[in-house]
């Protein structure tokens, strides 16, 4: 049994014991994220009793991992001074997020119990929009002046006492807190004590602005493989930092939101839990797109109705309608997925739309020819004994269906790749143009192509 499995068994034993207080000494040595998972199983009243048995630092880290509802219950029911102490030891970005969600009157109830430094920090961070760099940044970092010696800088870092995970980068500022560059802890330790910081700092650095979108910040951290990225205000002053673990959370949340939009779901305001969300919540998130697309699909019925005579004259066409619709939908969704991914990763921009269309046209042509050849074979295998009217032969029917399939695939590829770019160009979210929407549009165009070619080649009226 490895260490991980052993820890999981210990956690399970603690949860099943029914008396968590007996295991406090064990839990105090565990990572706080695992402690939070254990305490999550408690009722709120028990949680309040158990939390106070941990140190203030541990309390802050534990409740940082709780959802807003649990934090809010503690805020309402715990002694205000005790809660304020836990609140002060939370991660700075989590503090700001919680404070931002409180009503104005509730904010005023909490502020008097906070130290001046924390109070100012919370008020400053909560002024930024939650989905911007300012809204997610942390003030847990160390700064030194460029005029300091390395020995003085190390003493200053000790005084700032940033958390262990934030001690790798030491940010260098001037007297006005304007960013000058950064040094690593390794730089300070191996440099001579009397060497000036300005002689060892890195002046080329990646940064983000406080008003920058959080997804852009996360992409910078991912692209340049950063542990953290400094966040500057309009005066080039260091306002905070965003760490790599924050970036992971942002990318995960954005990916979830994009996937929900891609599948025609209305994203919720907060991170959702499938089992905890009510049936009504799931219903509300799904119904809008389904009704909209169902209404749009009425056009498919109109098209089929318009070609009833053609279907009656050549009933074999009905057999291959599902294949046309499914292939077109799959082809369009594939193209949309590739283009939306490339847009989100910054591999293509709106200026590249002509290159994308030209490339997808060639891809669609190759796919269309391949599937067209397969369609001829499929028609011959499935319909070799079909009872066709005397004026038609199987080869001609197979050829027309194959040609319609080829054109359908090319058209679906262009729609799937072009629609997200068009939506993006109009200022919308390209993911909303994906999967269900594209499938419905491609179904309509596919039917027009299918019946249009059949009537054209066979003179069906």
Give pLDDT tens digits for 351-368: 899 999 999 999 999 999
Averaged pLDDT score across all residues of the chain: 83
Tell me which DSSP letter residue 173 carries.
Answer: E
Cβ proximity of 137 and 171 under 8 Å: no
Q: What is the pLDDT of residue 275?
A: 64
Position with higher pLDDT, 311 vs 60: 60
Quick one: tokens of 403?
A: 């040609």
How does pLDDT run across 316-339, given as a tens digit for each residue?
A: 888 888 898 889 988 998 898 888
Q: What is the pLDDT of residue 255?
A: 67
Neighbour tally for 417: CB within 10 Å: 27
pLDDT surpasses 80 at 203: yes
The predicted model gives 381-402 an average pLDDT of: 79
Which 3 state secondary structure label does DSSP give 239?
Answer: strand
Which 3 state secondary structure label does DSSP give 234?
Answer: coil
Residue 309 pLDDT grade (very low, low, confident, very high; cuts 50, 70, 90): confident
**Angstrom distance (rounded) from CA 7 to CA 55:** 21
pLDDT surpasses 90 at 38: no
Q: What is the pLDDT of residue 103?
A: 92
Least confident residue range of 29-33, 201-205, 332-336: 29-33
Quick one: tokens of 389?
A: 């009217």
**Angstrom distance (rounded) from CA 351 to CA 261:** 24
**Angstrom distance (rounded) from CA 241 to CA 310:** 66
Q: What is the pLDDT of residue 197?
A: 93
How does pLDDT run across 115-144, given as a tens digit for each residue?
A: 988 998 899 888 898 889 998 998 888 899
pLDDT surpasses 80 at 345: no
What are the φ/ψ torsions at residue 387 (nearest 5 degrees)? -90, 90
Tell me which DSSP letter residue 237 carries.
Answer: B
Nearest Cα to Cα of residue 371 among 312, 421, 327: 327
Quick one: tokens of 150?
A: 């390395």
Q: What is the pLDDT of residue 317?
A: 82
Domains of the chain from N-terminus onward: 3-127 (1.25.60.10), 143-242 (3.10.580.10), 297-458 (1.10.357.20)
The predicted model gives 291-311 an average pLDDT of: 74
The dihedral region occupied by 237, where left means phi > 0, alpha psi between -120 and 50, and beta the remainder, is beta
177-194 burial code (b ≥16 CB/10 A, e <16): bebbbbbbeebbeebeee
Q: What is the pLDDT of residue 390?
A: 55
Nearest Cα to Cα of residue 329 among 452, 435, 448: 435
pLDDT surpasses 60 at 262: no
- Helix or strand (DSSP H, E) at 182: strand 179-184
Tell me which DSSP letter residue 171 carries.
Answer: E
Q: Cα torsion for 195, 197, 203, 208, to the nearest 10°?
A: 160
pLDDT surpasses 60 at 461: no
Its sign, for the CA torsion 370, 372, 376, 381, is positive
Its sign, for the CA torsion 59, 61, 67, 69, is positive
Taking CA atoms, 103 is separated from 93, 372, 411, in Å, by: 18, 62, 52
Q: What is the pLDDT of residue 261?
A: 59
Least confident residue range of 161-165, 336-340, 412-416, 439-443: 161-165
**Angstrom distance (rounded) from CA 423 to CA 426:** 5
Position with higher pLDDT, 262 vs 313: 313
Residue 171 pLDDT grade (very low, low, confident, very high; cuts 50, 70, 90): very high
pLDDT surpasses 60 at 4: no
Q: What is the pLDDT of residue 415?
A: 92
Q: What is the pLDDT of residue 139?
A: 85
Cβ proximity of 120 and 146 under 8 Å: no
Q: What is the pLDDT of residue 347?
A: 84
pLDDT > 90 in the chain, percent: 31
Q: What is the pLDDT of residue 163?
A: 67
**Angstrom distance (rounded) from CA 39 to CA 300:** 54
Q: What is the pLDDT of residue 90?
A: 92
């Amino acid at each position: 049994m490895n260490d991980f499995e052993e820890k999981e068994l210990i956690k399970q034993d603690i949860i099943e014991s029914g008396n968590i207080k007996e295991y406090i000494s064990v839990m105090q040595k565990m990572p706080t994220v695992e402690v939070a998972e254990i305490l999550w199983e408690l009722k709120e009243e028990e949680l309040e009793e158990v939390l106070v048995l941990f140190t203030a630092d541990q309390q802050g880290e534990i409740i940082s991992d709780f959802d807003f509802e649990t934090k809010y219950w503690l805020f309402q029911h715990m002694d205000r001074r005790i809660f304020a102490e836990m609140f002060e030891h939370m991660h700075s970005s989590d503090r700001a997020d919680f404070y931002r969600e409180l009503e104005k009157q509730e904010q005023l109830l909490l502020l008097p119990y906070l130290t001046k430094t924390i109070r100012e920090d919370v008020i400053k961070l909560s002024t930024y929009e939650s989905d911007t760099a300012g809204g997610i940044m942390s003030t847990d970092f160390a700064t030194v002046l460029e005029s300091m010696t390395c020995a003085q800088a190390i003493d200053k870092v000790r005084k700032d006492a940033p958390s262990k995970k934030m001690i790798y980068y030491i940010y260098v500022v001037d007297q006005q807190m304007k960013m000058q560059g950064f040094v690593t802890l390794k730089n300070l330790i191996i440099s001579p004590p009397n060497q000036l910081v300005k002689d060892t700092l890195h002046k080329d650095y990646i940064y983000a602005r406080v008003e920058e979108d959080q997804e852009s910040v996360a992409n910078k951290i991912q692209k340049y493989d950063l542990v953290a990225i400094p966040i500057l205000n309009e005066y080039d002053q260091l306002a905070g930092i965003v760490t790599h673990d924050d970036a992971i959370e942002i990318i995960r949340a954005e990916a979830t939101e994009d996937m929900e939009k891609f599948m025609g779901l209305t994203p919720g305001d907060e991170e959702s839990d499938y089992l905890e969300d009510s049936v009504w919540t799931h219903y509300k998130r799904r119904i809008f797109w389904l009704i909209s697309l169902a209404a749009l699909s009425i056009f498919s019925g109109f098209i089929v109705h318009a070609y009833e005579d053609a279907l009656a004259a050549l009933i074999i066409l009905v057999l291959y309608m599902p294949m046309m619709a499914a292939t077109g939908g799959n082809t369009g969704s594939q193209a949309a997925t590739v283009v939306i991914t490339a847009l989100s990763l910054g591999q293509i921009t709106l200026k590249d739309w002509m290159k994308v269309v030209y490339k997808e046209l060639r891809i669609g042509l190759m796919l269309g020819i391949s599937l067209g050849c397969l369609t001829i074979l499929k028609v011959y295998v499935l319909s070799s004994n079909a009872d066709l009217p005397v004026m038609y032969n199987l080869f001609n029917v197979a050829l027309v269906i194959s040609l319609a399939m080829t054109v359908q695939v090319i058209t679906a590829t262009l729609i799937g790749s072009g629609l997200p770019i068009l939506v993006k160009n109009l200022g919308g979210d390209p993911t909303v143009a994906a999967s269900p929407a594209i499938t419905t549009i491609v179904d309509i165009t596919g039917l027009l192509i299918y019946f249009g070619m059949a009537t054209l080649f066979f003179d069906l009226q």
